[in-house]
Amino acid sequence: MKVAILGATGLVGRRMLALLADRPWADPDPVLLGSERSAGVRLDFRGRSIPSKAVSPEDFEGVEIALFSAGAAAARRFGPIAAAAGAWVIDNSSAFRMDPDVPLVVPEINGGLLAAAGRGSGGIIANPNCSTIQIAMAAAPLELAFGLAEVHVTTLQAVSGAGQSALDEWRRQEDGLPPCDPPLFARPMARNVLPCIGGPAADGSFEEEAKVVRELRKILGRAGDLGVTCTAVRVPVQDGHSAAVRFVLQRDADLEAATAALRGFPGLVVASDPLDFATPLEIAGGNAVHVGRLRRDPDHRRALLAWVVADNLLKGAAWNALQIADLLAGGAATGADR
């Protein structure tokens, strides 16, 4: 199939290209697109060097799968153009996630939505927010087995979640250089933690927190009645988001049953000991979502506490998008490596 990647030179786009190389359905000549800034930058694909070019509407002619990872403004401009040209657009930005006509897909949870979509020719599919994906992966088996009443989350998010320029700025600060002007982070990022991701909202939350709340409800099909709270925190870690999560269940579940439900879900790696856990440093580069520190809330018999870690650039972005592409291309979603 003919594939285009918009944002191919970015952190997520480069990982998409690397994952695409293993797809038997992918045409040998992907169209690599970015802004004027990166026109001419050459990227490796199956041992060949392919130049990226500045995107224009004509680039989507004949494209069947368009992987978008270039932010919401570019997605709003080029998504409808690519879809009208017949491509399946899999968009990583927030542009279309809450559009009621656009499926918001984590393949292990609601990949079935693509069966209906796949019968058409072209359209837009949204990839959820990176933190939301890993939280949804841990929430979904508990929702299926016991029903969820509430989900309360504190995230600890890697700097790469904010893109290449954030990584560059963090490294500058770690080297003792002053913050850039205008500042990219609200306060110094080096040797610090920042409980503010995205723009502020009138209710006292920041944008990332609202994304987790509304996207989790949409993915689980619980828009009206699932209680969700989130505090999103940027931490000085390169790759890999962590989340401390409290799940309040609708029905009683002992720890054994909850562990079994999580273990049986594809794409999850579940620690067998409540004292065991994964860290971003250990799991970065892998596709799985890791659940550890699973334990009962001693003061609430229907509440469980867990520590959930995944690579934000892979399951949180590129891997989830490629799993969607696999389904649209007619194959089964490939399982996560462990």
Ligand X SMILES: NC(=O)c1ccc[n+]([C@@H]2O[C@H](COP(=O)([O-])OP(=O)(O)OC[C@H]3O[C@@H](n4cnc5c(N)ncnc54)[C@H](OP(=O)(O)O)[C@@H]3O)[C@@H](O)[C@H]2O)c1
Please give the residue ranges that form the binding site for ligand X (CB under 6 A). Answer: 7-13, 34-35, 37-38, 55, 69-71, 73-74, 92-93, 130, 160-161, 163-165, 312-313, 316-317
Backbone φ, ψ for residue 313 (5° rounding): -85, -15
Beta-bridge partners for 105: none
The helix/strand/coil state of 139 is helix
The helix/strand/coil state of 17 is helix
Containing 249, the helix (H) or strand (E) segment is strand 241-249
Q: Considering beta carbons, is residue 16 or 306 the nearer one to ligand X?
A: 16
Residue 196 annotated in active site? no
Distance CA 15, CA 145 (A): 34
Q: Considering beta carbons, is residue 15 or 145 the nearer one to ligand X?
A: 15
Q: How far is the CB of 224 from ligand X (least distance, A)?
A: 26
- DSSP annotation string for 55-113: --GGGGTT-SEEEE-SHHHHHHHHHHHHHHTT-EEEE-SSSSTT-TTS-B--HHHHTTH
Q: Considering beta carbons, is residue 37 or 191 the nearer one to ligand X?
A: 37
Pairing between β-strand 3-6 and β-strand 31-34 as defined by DSSP bridges: parallel
Q: How far is the CB of 147 from ligand X (least distance, A)?
A: 28
Q: How far is the CB of 54 from ligand X (least distance, A)?
A: 7
Task: Compute the CA torsion angle 139, 142, 147, 148 (nearest 10 deg).
Answer: -40
Q: Which of 196, 230, 241, 290 is catalytic?
A: 241
Q: Which of 130, 196, 230, 290 is catalytic?
A: 130
Q: How far is the CB of 60 from ligand X (least distance, A)?
A: 13
- Nearest position to ligand X, beta carbon: 10
Residue 290 annotated in active site? no
Distance CA 77, CA 82 (A): 9
Q: Considering beta carbons, is residue 267 or 294 the nearer one to ligand X?
A: 267
Q: How far is the CB of 298 from ligand X (least distance, A)?
A: 35
Distance CA 212, CA 128 (A): 9
Burial class (CB in 10 A: 0-12, 13-18, 19+), 200: exposed
Distance CA 116, CA 15 (A): 28
Q: Considering beta carbons, is residue 214 or 296 the nearer one to ligand X?
A: 214
Q: How far is the CB of 320 from ligand X (least distance, A)?
A: 8
Q: Considering beta carbons, is residue 126 or 333 the nearer one to ligand X?
A: 126
Pairing between β-strand 227-234 and β-strand 53-54 as defined by DSSP bridges: unpaired
The amino acid at residue 94 is: S
Q: Which residues are catalytic?
A: 130, 241
